[in-house]
Chains A and B, each alone.
Chain A
């Protein structure tokens, strides 16, 4: 789910070498270098900003807390990382990445940091550099990149040619995601209990956020419904109580990895409609295995929810990958030829809304060889499917 982007992420960020040592990055970089070999790129430039930085974090561990960062990764030789921070902030930035050479790319620092790095490529012929993440780069920075490259270099989009981040999560990544899911479930429980304690939805969401942040969540996002679940809104600070069930959304990030969940809680036992959505969620999860097509999962969800239609907040999708980004890979929509990967991790979401009310349930699922492993699930609805 998209939420309002905060102006800075306040959680504790560091390159956790005890959890993701450099050797975790070796195969990632090897795969990238293989792509460089295939395409004749002497280097790849990997860009990320404060909102979307999955590829940058996957390859460098660096996560921008404000503005942007860019890893300059050569086929051979030393990497450099540019960040949009002042020189005063560089010591702190160096704790976020395995890349030793971290420079400021702000303002006049750009030419001092970017241009000299290119000097190593001494070939007389014009050369192509691969790019990842440049789609989200602001035109003004893109123009600075092009000015620095001059006629000697051209850029070639690499996003579609290399699977970064990889769809298949490695064991250490799964450990991180499990930690994130564990904190998410505990925070979701706080969310629901606070609401049951007669707190307004925004108060309950803030209680959940406080809980997650106090346990080292690096980021927390929430949405709540103030109209019985028909729509969701970001924090508005009004703390109004409202009738109807609690319907909200909660996402937490732990050591770089996201987990998210919809929370639908009724005052009493779950209504027939919510149980129906729970059954639909179970039906999808039961079909989640390596090679399963996401359009087929979507069709199954739509059939299970009929005659109701998918909740508008889902934007026509019933899921997507999750990990270093809240949205990894393609959405699970009616059309598309995406297939689930073994050891891929996905968030699946179902729900409906009418003129009076709505609800959404979700789960985070690891697709194992034998089937689905539920890593986290909306509270209040018993799971009937497991590995």
Chain B
């Protein structure tokens, strides 16, 4: 068991302590299933800074004392070195250890809230409930709400992650050629970005003469005339970013460039609309407006597109999906990926997207070079 007594209190834990005080609560139990979904908040990561291997939990009390429990037990040393909690405990039985830690913190479970318990497997959830004797009130939005604005150091990490993504895309331009298989290209890109420090990567990359959507890499052999779609999504020290790119092997038909320009214009409109105080719906309407004006309003719906962007876990997935039904107000410091990716009958699916940070004057792309229709000469 590691004991940390002199740690400075990091922002997320401090915010949670303030929340407990403000709501007259006794404590919080935040759990993670260890699955690291890049579209969701990982409550244990948010409150401890540790990306867990297995199921895990952070226990926090009204006095500000905090304990991280990680599984498997052998991961304790790594977790303790990285965790911002006072204590870190490795365990193989999360439910039993949780009961012990709740006792140590003397939590009154009737005045304790939970975050993320509903993401655990049903068997473990039931065991925790049986062990604790009750279900702490679920406040599953708390971690994503408290972390909805990136702190300066997190923003720096996102900028580094974006740098990695852009280098990854440059590697694609160097490495992709007719004759190699999609999975070979994906493997190269994944490992290249990992070498630059990306510990995870939601990497979708596929090619076709006429794409219907992007998908995970398969066995298809790249060919002249293929349009390669790529979603490069490296995670650097807990911060995911995403760039979306469209690349043609060989000289593209003129219509591809014409249609890609629509997406670039839509991106520009989205960036302009994405200022603090606007809503997510405003951004979506700005993007869709450009595409509709170009004659493709009927295609602004699934299966021709999915969303115009989304938040980025594992810190916070706020502001959520960029869709016209999302009335959430943008705040300065929010980060999301904006991508007016779109199926167009004449060109197939095309991709154009950047990670952006919301400012008072609009959304600012973190990438140095905006998406262009790139060509691999053959």
Chain A residues close to B by CB (< 8 Å): 2-14, 49-51, 65-67, 86-89, 91-92, 95, 134-140, 142, 203, 206, 209-210, 213-214, 216, 231-237, 312-313, 315
* Residue of B199, B233, B235 contacting most chain A CB atoms (<10 Å): B199
Closest to A227 in B: B77
In angstroms, Cα B35 to Cα A50, docked, is 8
Contact assessment for B198 and A237 in the assembled complex, using a CB-CB cutoff below 8 Å: yes
Q: Pick the contact of B197: A87, A136, A210, A237 (CB < 8 A).
A: A237
Residue of B nearest to A93 (CB): B215
Do the beta carbons of B34 and A216 come within 8 Å of each other? no
The distance in angstroms between the C-alpha atoms of A71 and B60, with both chains bound, is: 39
Residues on A with C-beta less than 8 A from B295 are none
What string of 1s and 0s marks CB contacts (under 8 Å) between B274-310 and chain A? Answer: 0000000000000000000000000000110010000
Would you list the 10 A-B pairs with minimal beta carbon distance, nearest first? A213-B187, A135-B123, A237-B197, A12-B183, A136-B121, A210-B191, A88-B303, A7-B38, A92-B215, A313-B74
Q: Is B203 an interface residue (CB 8 A)?
A: yes
Q: A136-B123, A137-B122, A206-B194 are in contact. Are A13 and B36 (CB under 8 A)?
A: no
Q: Is the CB of B122 within 8 A of A138?
A: yes
A216–B183 CB distance below 8 A: yes
Cβ–Cβ < 8 Å partners of A50 in chain B: 35
Contact present for A2 and B72 (CB under 8 Å) = yes
Interface of A is mostly: loop
Q: Nearest Cβ in chain B — how far from A53, in angstroms?
A: 12
Q: A10-B201, A138-B122 are in contact. Are A315 and B77 (CB under 8 A)?
A: no
> Does A10 lie within 8 Å of B203, measured CB to CB?
yes
Q: Which B residues between 213 and 229 are near A, CB-CB below 8 angstroms? A: 213, 215-219
Partner of A139, one of B118, B184, B198: B118
Given A88-B303, A136-B121, A214 contacting B184 (CB threshold 8 A) = yes
Q: List 30 A-B contacts (CB under 8 A).
A: A4-B53, A4-B200, A7-B38, A7-B200, A7-B233, A9-B216, A10-B186, A10-B203, A11-B187, A13-B216, A14-B219, A86-B306, A88-B303, A89-B213, A135-B122, A136-B122, A138-B33, A138-B119, A138-B121, A142-B122, A209-B194, A210-B191, A231-B74, A231-B77, A234-B78, A235-B199, A236-B199, A237-B194, A237-B236, A315-B72
Residues A91 and B235 in contact in the complex (CB < 8 Å), given A7-B38, A315-B72, A315-B92: no
Q: Is B260's beta carbon under 8 Å from chain A?
A: no
Q: Is A12 touching B199 in the complex (CB atoms < 8 A)?
A: no
Q: Which of B35, B122, B183, B199 contacts A237 (CB 8 A)?
A: B199
In the complex, which of the residues A8, A12, A91, A206 contacts B195, with contact meaning CB atoms closer than 8 Å?
A: A206
Say whether chain B's binding surface is mostly helix, strand, loop, or mixed. loop
Known A4-B53, A10-B216, A88-B302; contact A139-B187, beta-carbon cutoff 8 A:
no
Within the complex, what minimum Cβ distance (angstroms) separates B119 from chain A?
A: 5
Interface residues of B (CB under 8 A from A): 33-38, 51-54, 71-74, 77-78, 92, 117-125, 181-184, 186-188, 190-191, 194-204, 212-213, 215-219, 233, 235-237, 240, 302-303, 306
Chain B residue contacts of A315, Cβ below 8 A: 72-74, 92
Whether B78 and A231, one on each chain, are in contact in the complex, defined by CB atoms closer than 8 angstroms, is yes
Given contacts A12-B182, A142-B122, A213-B187, whether A7 and B235 have CB atoms under 8 Å apart is: yes
Which of chain A's residues has its CB closest to B37's CB?
A7
Residue of A66, A87, A95 near B302 (CB, 8 A) is A87
By the criterion CB–CB under 8 Å, are B92 and A209 in contact?
A: no
Q: How far is the CB of B205 from chain A (nearest CB, A)?
A: 8
Q: Which of B74, B124, B196 has the most CB of A within 10 A?
A: B74
Instruction: Give complex CA distance A92, B199 in Å.
Output: 26
**Contact pick for A49, options B35, B38, B52, B204, CB 8 Å:** B35
Query: In the complex, which residues of chain A have a beta carbon less than 8 angstroms from the beta carbon of B72?
Result: 2, 315
